[in-house]
Amino acid sequence: MATPIKEWSELEVRAVVRFLFLKGTKPSEIHKQIAETYGEGAMSRSRVYQWCTWFGEGRTSLGDEPKSGRPKTSTNEENTTRVDKLIRCDRRMKIREIALKLEIPKSAVHEIVHDTLGYRMVSARWVPKMLTEDHKLQRVENSQRLLQRCQQDNGDEDTTHIGVGPGGDFQANNNLFDNLITGDETWVHLNTPETKRDSITWKHPSSPVTKKFKVQRSAAKVMATVFWDVKGVILLDILPQGQCINAARYCSTLDGLKEAICRKRPGLLTRGVLLQHDNATPHSANLTQQWLQRYGWEILPHPAHSPDLAPSDFHLFGPLKRHLGGMAFETEDDLISELRNWFDNLDVDFFRVGINSLLSRW
């Protein structure tokens, strides 16, 4: 194999392509001969095919065609201003659309948008429900009252000051969180697919592309009700098959919670239980309210449609579902056993951080 020519021009290579094309040589063979004679970087395969197409259409010129559009006298600053103005008028405009509208190269638009202006294309954040003004006002008022209560329990009349602990966590020296028990229900499937985010791996550019098959969650599932505090899980209650969560069933669960408190948190019933749960129908039903009044349990105010203020939603259930991702269980007993093992192996600090983070969220 001959040594590739080191010095050549684009016009020379294009002339060779035209010569070989007119002789009837196939574009693939032309690219092979160009690579052997001038080197791999002389002209790419796609470029060879493009020039062969042009020659087949009757083109004879080997030079670049004059480009239409805005003269090159426009400066980068002018283009930046024009691009920024278009994006501010339509935030969904694509790079290609901007380039066509302003008649400047896509590469220049890409550099202006990402490097000069610092724009990034992002999706809208998904939220479960659009809150009304009344809902937002209720969130603010509830949070203000709870913050004031934290200060009052601390004996501090200044309700605008909250202590900051190690790591930037908000802290308050009061018994509010010592007596707080939070709980909620969640569905747990026998087969929970691993999320795309949890399955990411490191790879070299030469490594083969990893594949992930789409797996649906199993139809078989159990309803788990978890009550916990700063020290850990107090009660894990599994709803029997064929039953549904209603006020009567929830009161039965609260009976089990009361017994578990006697065993695991002696003295808490005497001090007074502060229960935090959401506004689901079984939780707010008259039968449930009568049960709570009978035993003197206080309910922590919780605004509607606010999972970001429920520790089970923002702190507990997410790690649980990620832990179960990729696991498949044959029976419900195996799944329940895994749930209990996972809760038992959690560090106490995990629960403390989850409860104490309520303060910063308020």
- Residues 283-296 pLDDT 10s: 999 999 999 999 99
- Kindly report whether the global pTM for this prediction surpasses the value 0.75: no
Indicate if the pLDDT at residue 157 is higher than 70. no
Question: Order of strands, edge to edge, in the sheet holding 298-299?
Answer: 232-238, 221-229, 180-189, 274-276, 298-299
**Would you put residue 167 in left (φ > 0), alpha (ψ -120 to 50) or beta?**
left
- For residue range 335-353, what is the model confidence (pLDDT) as tens digits? 999 999 999 999 999 999 9
- For residue range 18-60, what is the model confidence (pLDDT) as tens digits? 999 999 999 999 999 988 888 888 888 888 999 999 988 888 8
> Could you tell me whether strands 163-164 and 170-171 are parallel, antiparallel, or unpaired per DSSP bridges?
antiparallel
Three-state helix/strand/coil letters over the chain = CCCCCCCCCHHHHHHHHHHHHHCCCCHHHHHHHHHHHHCCCCCCHHHHHHHHHHHHCCCCCCCCCCCCCCCCCCCHHHHHHHHHHHHHHCCCCCHHHHHHHHCCCHHHHHHHHHHHCCCCCCCCCCCCCCCCHHHHHHHHHHHHHHHHHHHHHCCCCCCCCCEECHHHCEECCCCCCCCEEEEEEEEEECEECCCCCCCCCCCCCCCCCCCCCCCCCCCCEEEEEEEEECCEEEEEEECCCCCCCCHHHHHHHHHHHHHHHHHHCCCHHHHCCEEECCCCHHHHCHHHHHHHHHHCCEECCCCCCCHHHCHHHHHHHHHHHHHHECCECCCHHHHHHHHHHHHHHCCHHHHHHHHHHHHHHC
Residue 236's closest CA among 299, 173, 193, 185?
A: 185
Distance CA 218, CA 189 (A): 6
Quickly tell me which residue has 């969650």 as its tokens.
217
The count of other CB atoms within 10 Å of the CB of residue 229 is 26
Query: With pLDDT > 90 as the criterion, what percentage of the chain qualifies?
Result: 54
* CATH number attached to the domain at 76-116: 1.10.10
Cβ 179 vs Cβ 269: under 8 Å: no
Three-state helix/strand/coil letters over 145-168 = HHHHHHHHHCCCCCCCCCEECHHH
pLDDT value of residue 3:
77
Indicate if the pLDDT at residue 252 is higher than 60. yes
Distance CA 226, CA 316 (A): 9
> Could you tell me whether strands 298-299 and 274-276 are parallel, antiparallel, or unpaired per DSSP bridges?
parallel
Terminus-to-terminus CA distance in the chain, angstroms?
75
Cβ 336 vs Cβ 238: under 8 Å: yes
Indicate if the pLDDT at residue 74 is higher than 50. no
Quickly tell me which residue has 């574009």 as its tokens.
27
The structure tokens listed for 322 are: 């990620």
What does the domain layout of the chain look like in residue ranges? 10-56, 76-116, 154-199+215-361
May I ask the CATH architecture of the domain 154-199+215-361? 2-Layer Sandwich (3.30)
Indicate if the pLDDT at residue 75 is higher than 90. no
Query: With pLDDT > 70 as the criterion, what percentage of the chain qualifies?
Result: 90
- The residue-averaged pLDDT of 261-279 equals 93
Distance CA 258, CA 238 (A): 16
Cβ 259 vs Cβ 265: under 8 Å: no
Indicate if the pLDDT at residue 216 is higher than 80. no
Indicate if the pLDDT at residue 165 is higher than 70. no
Distance CA 44, CA 240 (A): 67
